[in-house]
Structure 1
Amino acid sequence: MAQILPLFVLLLLRLALLAMSTRDGIRIELAYIDSKSNFTTTELIRRAVDRSTVRTGRLLSQIASSHSSTDNVNSPVHVSTASYLMELAIGTPALNFTAIVDTGSDLIWTQCQPCVKCFPQPSPLYNPSKSSTFSKIQCNSTLCQALPRSSCSPDCKYLYTYGDGSSTQGYLATETFTFGSTSPVSVPGIGFGCGTQNIGTTDNSSGLVGLGRGPLSLVSQLGISKFSYCFTSFGDPTTSPLLLGSLANFSGAATKSTKFVKNPTADPMSSFYYLSLQGITVGKKLLSIPPSVFQLNQHGSGGLIIDSGTTITALEEMAFIPFMLAFRSQVNLSVADGSSLGLKLCFSVPAGLTAVEIPKVIFHFDGADMELPPENLMVEDPTARLLCLFMVGTRGMSIFGNFQQQNMHILYDLDKEVLKFEPTQCNKL
């Protein structure tokens, strides 16, 4: 009892500090991963397609591997394929670093000294021996047991591997993390992965911050009931706001909401945010898509997830093909070859043409219709004079990507288990 009481007091103190730190909410500015580059429009499109293709493939292979083995160590972490970066700091004194932000994963991790193998990063490596607030996590802790797979020798060690051969390996610890730049907020005791063997690349970042549904994610550890983001237009160099806690609020009359769908299986898929998509309308035509195409089955496959990291929406082929055919029939332009961009449906834009009529597209979610404006459907390559549908087909699961979410304030209400959304000029939020 003498040992348990101090631990209980420390837990209460940590919860009190967390409440004080987050009661006013936290605002974090997200930068699109290519926003500081000098890429042409063609290159930006190609890079976005390539990242989305790899990420979608990893998500699907992850589901397949989880069905084939109960001992797999694959995790919903997608290094170098996510789209947005956040600036934060770790330790005392605080060390600034950049991390990928990802609603499709849970673990928070960064590269650590002494590093056996690390990929190049833009900032100095975090050195736990130089921080007064660093502490290793015990093997019997809740966070250690939440890992897909862990080992003790004697620390709580983790290994996450990815479909392309990249990986992060290290041990779990707690640290003080500081979020935001204009009004920074420091939060003690956040559990994270201290990666000492990391293979791959993270596109000018030093790690990852997961916002998924699992206990290891930032939102779970902060104990917040809601968070939101609002992505600015594709190619816009301005940052996109991520709002945690009380700052995540809607006031407009155009707010709509749809319930999350829980995956019936265990980790790692239970970390994803699934939505119930019941149909799609193109123009005035409700597409003939079997209801089962978007349903999450009892084995944990199928369904549709909303994902901050995937740029391009990927629809199950049985929905994408009729969608593409209906869309093509309602655009009064000649079809062109979009293989150079990695896209399935493109149109030739004649010289001098200034306006193109694009059919209205509505995604019918459970209880809420989301109308996608033309700029959330099409992307233009001015060099090749192509206008392309920025969606692709896939098999096994559908993914609602961030291009289709741009200039839409998206709120995750974790208490009510609903997703709320309303059209917003994100660069003015």
Structure 2
Amino acid sequence: MSWLPLLLFLLSTATQESVNAAESNILTLHRRIEHSNASRLERLRTAIHGDGLRQRMIAGVIGRRRKANEVDVPLPSLESTIEMPVWSGAYTGTGQYFVRVRLGTPAQPFLLVPDTGSDLTWVTCRYRGTTDLMSAVKDGRKNGQRSRRRRAKRIFEADLSRSFHPISCSSMSCQTELPFALTTCPKATSPCTYDYEYAQGSSAQGFFANESATVEFPNRRRMKLKGLVVGCTSSAVGSSFVSSDGVLALGHGPNTFVSRATARFGQRFSYCLVDHLSPRNATGYLTFGPNPFLPPHPSAPLILDPFLQPFYYVAVAGISVAGEVLRIPPSVWNYRRGGGVIVDSGSTLTVLADPAYGLVVNALSHRLAEVPRVQVDPFDYCYNWSSPKAAATCVPSFEVHFVGGARLSPPVKSYLIDVADGVKCLGFTSTPWPGVSIIGNIMQQEHIWEFDLENQRLGFHPSNCATGTLFP
């Protein structure tokens, strides 16, 4: 997932250093940054570090896992839609979003990270025999890494749930349907264990179980969603999990939360992420089934190749800045040639493969050349937005063009992001070529995104995420 804070440089009171006219236009901003601004920048720095780890994880996942067999699912019912509230994690100092999920019987509430790049739903968990179970996990781990127990606010007490049933390591499900299950199987009744690696230094260890979730309809009526594959995690490592209780797998695959929920409520789901700097009381939503608040909207082809699971690739044709289509090599958008683009709610910033990154930031920075530059590590392009020249500058538009003609036209704040008062930075990072580009959650904010799995389409429409409220 997307997920080392770096030491924030301390800025002295306002002074300006002389610069040689022949040198770059870059200035160093000398002023005191208040604690709230420091926290904002630290959160973004942490997110950028996590995004970098996540990029390496994504590159390594495709093609390395055992192919999962399809599982039988009940016929879809379109009679209802279930809805879950989603929050920005800014108040916790992370670049993630949280969704409230109730697991078990009786139901226990948790805050999970909704992750379209994950195929394992897991929660911090306590179960009888955990010590013996985790010894099996350690036996199956690579390179003798040690696991560390995570401090959590909420722990799923699996022994108290009547619907919790561990999956044995000798089962067909463990051996063929769970591509990240460990091969360790001391005896037939031993649980099916996992060591799920999101990135270097970020992982979750535990065992699989079948469990139920309590879901809610818009009219507040509740029902049980049964047959879920859930990870009972007793040890997790990584800053991504400090503020959450686990992960809600929204990735494409046979054993994700999406596969079960869309089978019951129609082959589509959608979400709307509020502004990433929103306070805790501002909520978006995650729905399964038809979204009654989504009007006719543009859509792009979704690429749901089994060998690309759990990621959602979208067919991109190009990028334009200020209405001018950039000359980005077509191979950058072709997943068969080492490129491609995924929509990832678990990544914070938008990631562009080097050939695209250079052209995009050059085009944007060229049109922002009159605004004084400032140095804010680790961003490449930052600006003193309190400068009078900033007020007179028209920020160029940025658009993503999809195959078929649909265009994503995000608001300026989604690609020229606030990192402190009076300081804005271009919200892109680069990844070496060949490499996968990523549309991160800041670029996705304040839009409804609908994943139509049956028709393999990705729809989107601007919205402030209040139920039934759309932007023009």
TM-score (norm 2): 0.72
Residues 59, 436 of structure 2: 8 Å contact kept: no
1:109 aligns with 2:109: no
Shift of 1:263: 4.3
1:408 corresponding residue in structure 2? 447
What CA distance in whole angstroms lies between the structure 1 residues aligned with 2:151 and 2:172?
32
1:54 aligns with 2:85: no
**CA-to-partner distance for each residue in 1:286-312, whole Å, 9 max, x for gaps?**
1111111121026xx421101111111
1:391 aligns with 2:387: no
Shift of 1:169: 2.1
Letter in 1 for 2:112: A
1:140 corresponding residue in structure 2? 171
1:87 aligns with 2:100: yes
1:127 aligns with 2:157: yes
Residues 229, 241 of structure 1: 8 Å contact kept: yes
What CA distance in whole angstroms lies between the structure 2 residues aligned with 1:52 and 1:249?
35
What CA distance in whole angstroms lies between the structure 1 residues aligned with 2:317 and 2:56?
21
Q: For 2:339, which of 299, 302, 305 is the aligned residue? A: 302
Residues 81, 310 of structure 1: 8 Å contact kept: no
Q: In structure 2, the residue corresponding to 1:158 is in which secondary structure?
A: strand
Letter in 2 for 1:192: V
Q: For 2:409, which of 371, 375, 387 is the aligned residue? A: 371
Structure 1 unpaired stretches of 5+: 1-37, 72-79
2:199 corresponding residue in structure 1? 163
1:252 aligns with 2:248: no
1:231 corresponding residue in structure 2? 273
Residues 333, 348 of structure 1: 8 Å contact kept: no
1:206 aligns with 2:245: yes
Letter in 2 for 1:242: L
Structure 2 unpaired stretches of 5+: 1-33, 67-92, 132-147
Q: In structure 1, the residue corresponding to 2:252 is in which secondary structure?
A: coil
Q: For the structure 1 residues 180 and 171, does the alpha-carbon distance in structure 2 shift closer, same or farther, using more than 3 Å as the test?
A: same
What CA distance in whole angstroms lies between the structure 2 residues aligned with 1:427 and 1:356?
31
| 1:179-194 equivalent positions in 2, closer than 5 A | 179-180=215-216, 182-194=220-232
Q: In structure 1, the residue corresponding to 2:150 is in which secondary structure?
A: coil
What is the count of residue pairs matched by the alignment? 374
Residues 261, 273 of structure 1: 8 Å contact kept: yes
Residues 225, 413 of structure 1: 8 Å contact kept: yes
What CA distance in whole angstroms lies between the structure 2 residues aligned with 1:65 and 1:90?
28
What CA distance in whole angstroms lies between the structure 1 residues aligned with 2:312 and 2:94?
18
2:464 corresponding residue in structure 1? 425
1:277 aligns with 2:283: no
**CA-to-partner distance for each residue in 1:234-276, whole Å, 9 max, x for gaps?**
2112111111113x245434x1011112447x3xx42100011
Q: For the structure 1 residues 331 and 428, does the alpha-carbon distance in structure 2 shift closer, same or farther, using more than 3 Å as the test?
A: farther
Task: Pick which of 179-188 and 387-396 moved more.
Answer: 179-188
2:110 corresponding residue in structure 1? 97
Residues 89, 97 of structure 1: 8 Å contact kept: yes
Letter in 2 for 1:403: I
Shift of 1:65: 6.6
Residues 49, 312 of structure 1: 8 Å contact kept: no
What CA distance in whole angstroms lies between the structure 2 residues aligned with 1:356 and 1:404?
22
2:144 corresponding residue in structure 1? none
1:27 corresponding residue in structure 2? none
> RMSD across aligned C-alpha pairs, in angstroms?
2.8
Q: In structure 1, the residue corresponding to 2:278 is in which secondary structure?
A: coil
What CA distance in whole angstroms lies between the structure 2 residues aligned with 1:126 and 1:260?
35
2:72 corresponding residue in structure 1? none
Residues 335, 345 of structure 1: 8 Å contact kept: no
Shift of 1:337: 3.0
Shift of 1:335: 4.3
Q: For the structure 1 residues 261 and 188, does the alpha-carbon distance in structure 2 shift closer, same or farther, using more than 3 Å as the test?
A: closer
Shift of 1:183: 4.5
Q: For 1:176, which of 212, 221, 225 is the aligned residue? A: 212
Letter in 1 for 2:53: G
Residues 85, 100 of structure 1: 8 Å contact kept: yes
**CA-to-partner distance for each residue in 1:71-127, whole Å, 9 max, x for gaps?**
8xxxxxxxx98611112222122222221110101111112224446311112x222
Q: In structure 2, the residue corresponding to 1:86 is in which secondary structure?
A: strand
Q: For the structure 1 residues 321 and 200, does the alpha-carbon distance in structure 2 shift closer, same or farther, using more than 3 Å as the test?
A: closer
| 1:316-335 equivalent positions in 2, closer than 5 A | 316-331=353-368, 333-335=370-372
Shift of 1:143: 6.4
What CA distance in whole angstroms lies between the structure 2 residues aligned with 1:155 and 1:382?
48
State the identity as a percent: 28
What CA distance in whole angstroms lies between the structure 1 residues aligned with 2:327 and 2:423?
29
Residues 57, 198 of structure 2: 8 Å contact kept: no
Q: In structure 2, the residue corresponding to 1:129 is in which secondary structure?
A: helix
Q: For 1:196, which of 234, 239, 255 is the aligned residue? A: 234
Q: For 1:337, which of 366, 374, 379 is the aligned residue? A: 374
Residues 49, 311 of structure 1: 8 Å contact kept: no
